[in-house]
Amino acid sequence: MRYVIKESQLKLILESSPLLMVMRRVNKDSMGEFVRNAELEFPMLCDEFSDGMGYVDAVIRWAVDDFLTSDENIFLDELYDEVSDKLVSLCKNWFGEYLLNIYRITCIENV
C-alpha cells in the first residue's frame, strides 16, 4: 500500500520532532523568564565569578538547560547538544550585555 501526501504534509511530519518544536517556542520574552530565574541561582556572583564573562556564560547555560530539560523528550534527543549551543549563542546576543552590566554594577571591585 502506498500513500500519497502533499509537500506541506511531509514538511509537517518532518518538523514534528521535539527539537524543532522547541526552536519554534524560543523567543526573547520566553527565554528572558528563564534567564531571570537563572540569575537567582547565583546570588553571590562576585564571590563565584572572577569576571563578567564567566557570570554571563553560567547564567545563560543554566537558563538554556532549564528550558530544554523541562521536557524529557528533548533532554533525551540526540541533537540536544547542538540545539543547546545554538540557544546559548542566541541568548548571549539577547542578554549578554544586560548580564555583563549586572556583574559590573554588582561587582565593581572585580572590574
Place of cell 572572577: 50
* 70 is a domain residue: yes
User: Where do we find the cell 530544554?
Assistant: 68
- What per-residue confidence (pLDDT) applies to 66? 92
Amino acid 58: pLDDT: 97
- Residue 67: how many CB atoms within 10 A of its CB? 23
**Structural domain includes residue 76:** yes
* pLDDT attached to residue 99: 96
Q: Please tell me the pTM assigned to this model.
A: 0.78
The answer to whether residue 6 is domain-embedded is no
Secondary structure (3-state) at 65: helix
Domain residues for the domain of 37 are 18-106
Looking at the structure of the chain, the number of domains it has is: 1
Q: What is the pLDDT of residue 17?
A: 63
Q: What is the pLDDT of residue 109?
A: 76
DSSP state of 48: H
Contact 35, 99 (CB under 8 A): yes
Q: How far apart are the first and last CA of the chain?
A: 69
Give the chain's radius of gyration (CA, Å).
Answer: 18
In a domain, 12, yes or no: no
Alpha carbon distance 26, 17 (integer Å) = 15
Please check whether residue 55 lies inside any domain of the structure.
Answer: yes
Tell me whether residue 2 is in a domain. Answer: no
pLDDT at site 77: 63
> Can you give the pLDDT of all 111 residues of the chain as single tens digits?
777 777 777 666 665 566 667 777 889 999 999 999 999 999 998 999 989 999 999 999 999 999 988 766 565 567 778 888 989 999 999 999 999 999 999 998 765
Residue 58 belongs to some domain of the structure: yes
Domain membership flag for residue 97? yes
